[in-house]
Amino acid sequence: MQDGNRHEDIVRKYFELVRELRTGVEGAPERLLELWDPEGTFEFAGSPPVTGTFTGINAISVLYRNRFAASGMPLRLQGNGKEDSEDGIEDALGVVDTDINRMRTLDEERVVAGWTTTVGTRDRRGYQVSGSHSFIFKGDKIANLRIVVSPKPEAVEQVDASGLAIRD
């Protein structure tokens, strides 16, 4: 099997495990860590507040464990003042689901995946956002992952974005 195909398979596995992580499947953080080089770097390179760099397996482990703990977390939606009070609405994170739209192997070590993620609450309020994951491999391990998230949310059929002011 060519490196590009093997690396694309690892990228698909990564997104499967991220789905498990987001839905609270036990062991998902540990299985994700198995895909990483111990000295790897995970970078959110979007617009603030979606920024941050995590270097080394310990830092990446903390990131995954925190995200795992956020499944179904309570949150407060703050609207645009027209439909909701200024204090916002209490709810919980209901869905965060990513669909890969395209994947491309750039060379022997690099794969880029473009995606769309739906983010919504349990009461079906939310939005869609697009972005990309750029992977650099060291052998069969992820050595670097750079995630770029669009700062512009989009409406989506499954969830209602009316009355929301997206801040992050």
- Which regions of the chain are under pLDDT 50? 1, 80-85, 92, 165-168
Q: Are 136 and 110 in contact (CB under 8 A)?
A: yes
State pTM to two decimals.
Answer: 0.79
Q: Residue 161: what pLDDT?
A: 59
CB atoms inside a 10 Å sphere around CB 28: 22
Q: Residue 153: what pLDDT?
A: 74
Q: Residue 150: what pLDDT?
A: 85
Q: Residue 124: what pLDDT?
A: 67
Q: Residue 158: what pLDDT?
A: 59
Q: Residue 94: what pLDDT?
A: 60
Q: Residue 81: what pLDDT?
A: 47
Q: Residue 62: what pLDDT?
A: 96
